[in-house]
Amino acid sequence: MDLLEVRGAPNDYVCESGVIQHLEPFLKRYGFKKAFIICGQRSWNAVEPYFPKDRTLSYSFFRYHGECSLPEIERLSSHCIDYDVIIGIGGGKVLDLAKAVANQVRLDVVLIPTLASTCAAWTPLSVIYDDNGTYVRYDIFPKSATLVLVDPNMLLHSPVAYLRAGIADTLAKWYEADCIIRQLPSPPLSIKIAHQTAYLCKTTLLEHGPKAINDFLEKRDSFSFRQVIETNIMAGGMVGGFGDRYGRVAGAHSVHNGLTKVSSTHHLLHGEKVAYGILIQLVIENHWDEIHRLLPFYQALQLPITFQQLGLPNEKEVLHTIAEAIVQPEESIHLMNVIINKETMVEAFYQLEEFASNYKNKERHAL
């Protein structure tokens, strides 16, 4: 049955400095006694100074092996015996892994993001990769997180590249949701909420993004920084939560998925590949004025706009490999109201390359 399902928010969400120290009272409120914690070494290094020192509940720590993959989900699920809650601590892949494990073993999940790079802490879905980092699919779950704790002070000490990538990934919410929702003659209220929230993502990030990065670099927990991290985590998650399939992904994320097929792009963060995907989607839609408006913002945030910045060789064979993956029948790019095939995708790559290179040359000559 093709129903529109709204999963707008976690059961409980708190964004305050020092909130992680109050983890145990939250767990006790829900009656949890024995927690299965999934995290990586870097994630634990980030959260340990903020984690409760005088612990009265039982915690077992399990390291993840680098990907949210089906074998990793199975491996961790096999250890989930006699626990009553899963706690995911880390970036998007760790949180996605925790959600997938919790769904498999039918336990509640608590999420503590150590990066403001995605809306993974908010959304009841997981992006699945293979063990080499190539995109496989995404799974939507019937239940949202029980609790999400966001500590802005901890996020101030994360790598800046992840904040930049998070801004790009969340900026895509507008361009992807808008190209789908504007096709609907009479969208229901939940989709209108998703559309308005996606627009809020765009306007907030364009207004506050560069200042938030500067404040982050100076370790200032400023108004702009808070606006951006909550837009990335909360507002970005609300778009899909209220919009369901109309507010999740379209062209930009299909481009991301295609880029993962080429190993030379694996050094890029998820949001960096999505950033490039936004521009390719706008090329397909023939929205060159919007691309021109975005390029200074991309330059300010050091987001990729050319093959060289992607680490992508300018070779037709490579572009055909990416394009073929982008236009697979199951890809979300087909939700756009345009005719797309492998040839149009390759042409879009070359058109953007020429446009972006000309823009960079003009910028260089203006100095």
Active site residues: 169, 253, 256, 270
Rounded Cα gap, residues 154 and 158, in angstroms: 7
Mapped to the 3 state alphabet, what secondary structure does 68-88 carry?
CCHHHHHHHHCCCCCCCEEEE
Q: Cβ(73)–Cβ(97) under 8 Å?
A: yes
Q: Report helix angle 270-284 to 342-366, nearest 10.
A: 100
Where are any strands of DSSP class E within 218-342?
Answer: none
Answer positive or negative: Cα dihedral of 28, 29, 30, 31: positive
Where are any strands of DSSP class E within the chain?
Answer: 13-15, 34-39, 58-63, 85-90, 108-113, 125-129, 135-140, 147-150
Number of H helices, E strands in the chain: 15, 8
The H or E element spanning position 25 is helix 23-29
Q: Could you identify the residue written with the tokens 């915690």?
A: 59
Query: What is the phi/psi pair of residue 121, to 5°?
Result: -70, -20
Q: What is the dihedral of CA 18, 19, 23, 27, to 10 degrees?
A: 170
Q: Cβ(275)–Cβ(168) under 8 Å?
A: yes
Query: What is the phi/psi pair of residue 140, to 5°?
Result: -100, 135
Query: What is the phi/psi pair of residue 41, to 5°?
Result: -65, -45
Q: Are strands 13-15 and 34-39 parallel, antiparallel or unpaired?
A: unpaired
